[in-house]
Amino acid sequence: MRYKSDVIIVGSGVAGLYCALKLPSDLAITIITKADPEECDSWLAQGGICVLRNEEDYQAYYEDTLRAGHYENDRASVDIMIRSSQELIEDLVAYGVDFERDENGELKYTREGAHSAPRILFHQDVTGKEITSTLLDQVKKLPNVTIFAHATMVDIIETEGHCQGVIALADPESPLGLASDGLMTNDGREICIMEAPEVVWACGGIGGLYEHSTNWPHLTGDALGIALQHGIRLRDPDYVQIHPTTLYTEEKGRSFLISESVRGEGGILLNDKGERFVDELQPRDVVSQAIFAEMEKTGAKHVWLSMENIPEEEIKDHFRNIYETCLKAGYDVTKEPIPVVPAQHYFMGGVDVNSDSKTSMQQLFAVGETSCNGVHGANRLASNSLLESLVFAKRAAVRIGKEFADTKFDPDLADSIDLAKYKDPASLFAAYRESILAEIERTKKIHEHQ
Ligand SMILES: Cc1cc2nc3c(=O)[nH]c(=O)nc-3n(C[C@H](O)[C@H](O)[C@H](O)COP(=O)(O)OP(=O)(O)OC[C@H]3O[C@@H](n4cnc5c(N)ncnc54)[C@H](O)[C@@H]3O)c2cc1C
């Protein structure tokens, strides 16, 4: 089947949704998403979202971001993110996002590891769900936006260095493929040509490539595999963040995150002998390395996280989701420490973009975790990700609005696409996976020798 829009956004996390909200309302926008719209990492974010509280905090916030990033951050991008944060938060509140407030109605701030001051807004420990569900509700109200769930981008349509749309596979239950009788894959999905003069990749991270990750398993970095095939520039793909604290379990599946704000609010890490072995408020990579070293020394499969210093009411209020999930797993965090282990969590590298989220290919943008504008350097500071995703998604939308009239589009191009090469998606995605992992290894070696 063929489907035409002005802009295609691939992904329904905060980056994709906010981009849709900020695009001109006279453009026909299509969002495709691999699973249900709610099944994205944005929905899982616990700790919160950073904001510049006041001018006095600018230097400290900037320095904390750089220090966590090993000073490899793109400084202009960091400045844009911090300077845009207050307006962004005001916009989220205007959309209906409910951040925690004190008895006078003033916003409350929490603190996480590597932050020198409390500057994180939150909604209990389900901040991501609060923001993403609000944005999704807003997008659903827009008459110019269509969302197709269970539709997976498998490639882009390219001509002479310009992007002209995507090839998507519609699952049997996806409304995208329902009315049609096009070519099918060998696993029962319809191959769809989705034409558009502007494409935005908002495909999230790469946790699905790892055995232990806090990410949804369907987030396999597909955009990166496609980028490698089309010669679209990547940046620092080996910069992968390991989160120090996920709940240890023998079971397979997504690792459950124990937010850094637990340590920010007083949670401590203990070894098998009940002794502390690291400053818990160091950046994530430092704490993860200390845990790995401790596990190697003692042969233990995990270390322990104790919330004994956090008042019970605060645990049950601020960390309700963590409290309830741990309880279901057999641990009462108000009474006993829980076993924790590091797991893959975040992707600092990605598709190389400029400060307007433009990739090295014309008419192709990348936003959110899939992209890399250098904000995070070699290691992300806690709670900078939602902010970065939103700030730079808006910049992509504004840029698209400005350049749309000048985009190039060839309506006959789709006629020449050989759809037969998409008939075996398992092999295609296996090839993407292999090429991404090889690129991660290649760039890791380069960084090691620098
Ligand atoms: C457990 C957890 C807790 C976190 N806590 C915080 C926090 O407190 N603060 C913070 O700032 N950050 C946090 N993060 C990180 C943050 O949530 C993410 O970096 C951010 O939400 C990424 O948003 P996104 O829109 O780029 O991607 P996502 O929200 O992951 O969305 C990606 C979308 O792309 C779609 N997609 C992927 N591939 C394809 C394809 N081939 N075709 C079609 N669709 C595709 C997916 O289906 C999904 O809809 C956390 C992350 C996790 C996992």
Do 169 and 156 form a contact (C-beta atoms < 8 A)? Answer: no
pLDDT tens-digit profile of 238-270?
A: 999 999 999 999 888 899 999 988 999 999 999
Q: Is the model's pLDDT at 284 over the cut of 90? A: no
* Centre of ligand 1 from the C-alpha of residue 11, in Å: 9
Give the catalytic positions in this structure.
284
pLDDT at residue 176, rounded to an integer: 84
Q: How far is the CA of 291 from the centre of ligand 1 (A)?
A: 25
* Among the ranges given (178-192, 359-373, 431-445), the one the predictor scored with the smallest mean pLDDT: 178-192
> pTM value?
0.95
What are the pLDDT digits (tens) for 48-102?
999 999 999 999 999 999 999 999 999 999 999 999 999 999 999 999 999 999 9
Cα(69)–Cα(414) distance, integer angstroms: 43
- Residue 212 has a pLDDT of 87
What distance in angstroms lies between residue 95's CA and the mean position of ligand 1's atoms? 20
- Find the mean pLDDT for residues 265-289: 94
Q: How confident is the model at residue 112 (pLDDT cuts 50, 70, 90)?
A: confident
What residues are paired with 436 via a beta bridge? none
Mean pLDDT of 395-420: 96
In this prediction, residue 328 has a pLDDT band, given cuts at 50, 70 and 90, of very high
- Average model confidence (pLDDT) for the chain? 96
CATH of domain 2-239+348-448: 3.50.50.60
Task: Identify the pLDDT of residue 182.
Answer: 80
| The pLDDT value given to residue 180 | 64
- The side-by-side arrangement of strands in the sheet containing 371-372 is 234-235, 350-352, 371-372
Domain ranges of the chain: 2-239+348-448, 250-344
Q: Does ligand 1 come within 6 angstroms of the Cβ of 11? A: yes
Q: Which amino acid is residue 334, in one-letter code?
A: T
- Phi, psi angles (nearest 5°) of residue 215: -80, 165
336 token code pair: 């006993």
Instruction: Name the region of 285 (left: φ>0; alpha: ψ -120 to 50; beta: rest).
Output: alpha
Q: What is the pLDDT of residue 60?
A: 98
Which among 41, 216, 428 is the best mutation to test ligand 1's pocket, defined by most ligand atoms within 8 Å of the CB?
41
pLDDT in tens, 409-437: 999 999 999 999 999 999 999 999 999 99
CA–CA separation, 154 and 192 (whole Å)? 10
> For a pocket test of ligand 1, which of 125, 194, 203 has the largest count of ligand atoms closer than 8 A to its C-beta?
203
β 303-306/268-270 pair status: antiparallel
For residue 175, pLDDT beyond 90:
no
**Closest ligand 1 atom to Cα of 223:** 41
Ligand 1 atom 21: residue of nearest CA? 42
Of all protein residues, the one whose alpha carbon is nearest to atom 33 of ligand 1 is 11
Angle CA 385–390–395, to nearest 5? 125
In CATH terms, 250-344 corresponds, of 3.40.50.1360, 3.90.700.10, 3.90.550.10, 3.40.50.720, to 3.90.700.10
To the nearest whole percent, how much of the chain has pLDDT over 90?
92
285: helix, coil or strand? helix
Q: Give the per-residue pLDDT at 10.
A: 98
- State mean pLDDT over 111-139: 95
Q: Which of 13-17, 26-30, 91-95, 416-420 has the lowest mean pLDDT?
A: 416-420
State if residue 195 touches ligand 1 by the CB under 6 angstroms criterion: no
Distance 13 CA to ligand 1 centre (A): 6
Alpha-carbon distance of 109 to 116, in angstroms, equals 13
335-361 mean pLDDT: 97
User: In the chain, pLDDT over 70 holds for what percent of residues?
Assistant: 99
**What is the per-residue pLDDT across 177-191, written as a single tens digit (0 to 9) for each?**
765 668 999 999 999
pLDDT value for 178: 63
